[in-house]
Structure 1
Amino acid sequence: MTPASNLLDALNAGGCKVPYSCRAGSCHACMVRCLSGEPADAMPDALDRFQRAEGWRLSCQCLVVQDLVVEVFDPARDGLEAEVLDIHWPAADVLRLRLMPRRPLRYAAGQHLLLWNEAGVARPYSLASVPGLDDYLEFHLDCRKPGLFSDSARRLVPGDALRLGELHGGALHYDPDWDTRPLLLLGSGTGMAPLWGLLREALRHHHQGPIRVIHLAHEPGGHYLAEPLAELAAAHPGVDVRLITAAELAEVLAQFRLVSRQTIALLCGHPASVEEFARRLYLAGLPRNQLLADTFLTRDA
């Protein structure tokens, strides 16, 4: 490897085919195990101490500064097999995928998980399921654009197998101590996936404060959770749901007002949408430490 080169780039240039998605240390798709030598790590706190002790590093955040012996994550050896239980298309370009892992997986609502297909392509996806409520793992895949993973996902049928990789916490979660505080859930596209899980997690804890849900879609047909959200709102008077399209976004943001400065805001979706939402919330007076955001980018084929 060339000294001071990016470890991810060096490995892929050498034919190791290390997957990646965000290149920002968030998705954990590019994890490798260092068996000998140590790279210069720009994000040493991104992995927990147990993973680091085993030699795992995020290759996108590492520079080669000495000779290294590196072992690439092998989904057949290091991953957890999961069976496809159900495939459903709640919108033309959104795939709802439900999996059953071979053994129980401990997770929390709002986390995301690395999925591997049989071709060795890996992508991180947010969990839409809730432990204790759902006996499966659910993911919402945006299939609007071609992608090495999404194209293969279109061909999945019940009974097929995928591999599960690294489970990562991300920024989003629900804290029972927020019980009486207003919640604002803002999602764009399939950024609603973790928010759908967190909404149900809050209701499971009998959240007392008002909950406002805003889903931004490219067009009305993109509101793939419109029906289940309406059912939840009908069953819980404290839940208010608003479905908006990109054409309505500017007007909605201009008229936006906070219910309370005690509001906790959870945002997820494309970085540009999350940034617009966050900017409006700051202007409306929301303290920065009360805004939790997770962003994602789709990678084209």
Structure 2
Amino acid sequence: MPELRVGERQWSVAAGSNLLDALNQNGVSVPYSCRAGSCHACLVQCVQGLPSDSRPDALSAEQRQQGWRLACQCSVIEDLQVHTFDPLQDGRPAEVAAVDWLSANVLRLRLITQRPLRYGAGQHLVLWAGNVARPYSLASLPDEDRFLEFHLDCRQPGEFSDAARQLQIGDTLGLGELRGGALHYDADWHTRPLWLLAAGTGLGPLFGVLREALRQDHQGAIRVIHLAHDADEHYLAKPLQAMAAGRENLTVELWTPAELPQALAQLRLVSRQTLALLCGGPDSVDAFARRLYLAGLPRNQLLADVFLPRG
């Protein structure tokens, strides 16, 4: 049986054991979110030995050369010594600059780093509060906002959201890996119709994409749709409506689940050149995507980031 070692601890595991499970089930706490190789919360470094890796494409060549692997995607096949990710040593520290509620369930977190972080609208970061990590999309805009902004859905209890509720200005969090998902703004889209469809806090990264489009003086029509659990949870309604008030090419629609079937049925493409960016939970993104495909949107003109439930 292969031996697994972390620091001074060492134990035997069955050959072929999932590395994430082998660590967590033996008292070495490694966070995770999606277990699909997307969130990168379970990053570990292999100091000696290598596991079998089902997602070698998930990390850069430089990261792999340094021994970093995603524990959820690895199986233990030989003796292995592992270093677990330390967000302050292996990542970078960030200070809480502001924490406030945008609605009854959406907590806005603003962080400042000592060294500027190069990122693009729509990307996401792994945030660490102590030993708890969770990936969150950036709602801020590089070069304009001096802080990193995140919108946290706190409707359900969770280790990170529970910790976030207790944060105070001046507290330190750790930042893990910066990741680029599907969401972004391309200058080549300048004159094309742009639809941004969000559910819940999926609005956060699309708010950044919208601001990027406006900063680049997007000339095509922009349609923003936000699906919230109820009317009180349209947490960016006022800033969105203020933006739309001064721009003829920007419209904002606020939907609730009761209105969703009829609203989806009425979606019609104004142009085959339309681009659609979707973000939110799996059910909402799937509902948006199916209706857009039925309306004739080509699949390569739809970009989506899905917020997967933990587990």
- TM-score range (shorter-chain normalised) is over 0.9
How do 1:23-172 residues align onto structure 2 when only pairs under 5 Å count? Answer: 23-118=35-130, 120-172=131-183
Residue 179 of structure 1, CA deviation: 0.7
Task: Give the Cα–Cα distance (whole angstroms) in 2 for the partners of residues 77 and 203 of structure 1.
Answer: 37
1:222 to 2:228 alignment: no
Find the counterpart in structure 2 of residue 178 from structure 1.
189
Task: Give the Cα–Cα distance (whole angstroms) in 1 for the partners of residues 82 and 163 of structure 2.
Answer: 29
Task: Give the Cα–Cα distance (whole angstroms) in 2 for the partners of residues 26 and 298 of structure 1.
Answer: 12
Residue 151 of structure 1, CA deviation: 0.9
Residue 25 of structure 1, CA deviation: 0.9
Task: Give the Cα–Cα distance (whole angstroms) in 1 for the partners of residues 165 and 139 of structure 2.
Answer: 19
Out of 274-283 and 152-161, give the one that drifted further: 152-161
Out of 183-192 and 40-49, give the one that drifted further: 40-49
For 1:293, what is the secondary structure of its paired residue?
strand
How do 1:8-27 residues align onto structure 2 when only pairs under 5 Å count? Answer: 8-27=20-39
Task: Give the Cα–Cα distance (whole angstroms) in 2 for the partners of residues 47 and 61 of structure 1.
Answer: 11
Find the counterpart in structure 2 of residue 201 from structure 1.
212
Q: Would you say the 8 A contact 1:26–1:170 is kept in 2?
A: no
Task: Give the Cα–Cα distance (whole angstroms) in 2 for the partners of residues 267 and 237 of structure 1.
Answer: 22
Superposed CA deviations along residues 35-89 of structure 1, whole A, max 9, x for unmatched, are: 1222121111111111111111111111122221111101231121111111121
Find the counterpart in structure 2 of residue 243 from structure 1.
254
Superposed CA deviations along residues 229-282 of structure 1, whole A, max 9, x for unmatched, are: 001111221111000001111111111111211111110000110011011111
How do 1:263-274 residues align onto structure 2 when only pairs under 5 Å count? Answer: 263-274=274-285
Superposed CA deviations along residues 270-297 of structure 1, whole A, max 9, x for unmatched, are: 0110011011111111111111100113
Task: Give the Cα–Cα distance (whole angstroms) in 1 for the partners of residues 296 and 15 of structure 2.
Answer: 47
For 1:266, what is the secondary structure of its paired residue?
strand
For 2:102, what is the secondary structure of its paired residue?
strand
Unaligned runs of 5+ in 2: 1-12
Find the counterpart in structure 1 of residue 287 from structure 2.
276
Q: Which has the larger radius of gyration?
A: 2
Task: Give the Cα–Cα distance (whole angstroms) in 1 for the partners of residues 127 and 66 of structure 2.
Answer: 22
Task: Give the Cα–Cα distance (whole angstroms) in 2 for the partners of residues 5 and 69 of structure 1.
Answer: 15
Task: Give the Cα–Cα distance (whole angstroms) in 1 for the partners of residues 307 and 98 of structure 2.
Answer: 24
Task: Give the Cα–Cα distance (whole angstroms) in 1 for the partners of residues 16 and 115 of structure 2.
Answer: 41
Task: Give the Cα–Cα distance (whole angstroms) in 2 for the partners of residues 96 and 297 of structure 1.
Answer: 20
For 2:88, what is the secondary structure of its paired residue?
helix
Amino acid at match of 1:44: P
Task: Give the Cα–Cα distance (whole angstroms) in 2 for the partners of residues 130 and 83 of structure 1.
Answer: 18
For 2:17, what is the secondary structure of its paired residue?
coil
Find the counterpart in structure 2 of residue 191 from structure 1.
202
1:234 to 2:245 alignment: yes
User: Over aligned residue pairs, what C-alpha RMSD do you find?
Assistant: 1.1
Residue 298 of structure 1, CA deviation: 4.3
Out of 33-42 and 219-228, give the one that drifted further: 33-42
Task: Give the Cα–Cα distance (whole angstroms) in 1 for the partners of residues 64 and 247 of structure 2.
Answer: 44
Amino acid at match of 2:62: F
Q: Would you say the 8 A contact 1:32–1:70 is kept in 2?
A: yes
Task: Give the Cα–Cα distance (whole angstroms) in 2 for the partners of residues 237 and 293 of structure 1.
Answer: 26
Task: Give the Cα–Cα distance (whole angstroms) in 2 for the partners of residues 55 and 159 of structure 1.
Answer: 33
Task: Give the Cα–Cα distance (whole angstroms) in 1 for the partners of residues 93 and 199 of structure 2.
Answer: 30
Q: TM-score when scaled to structure 2?
A: 0.94
Q: Would you say the 8 A contact 1:33–1:72 is kept in 2?
A: yes
Task: Give the Cα–Cα distance (whole angstroms) in 1 for the partners of residues 243 and 15 of structure 2.
Answer: 55
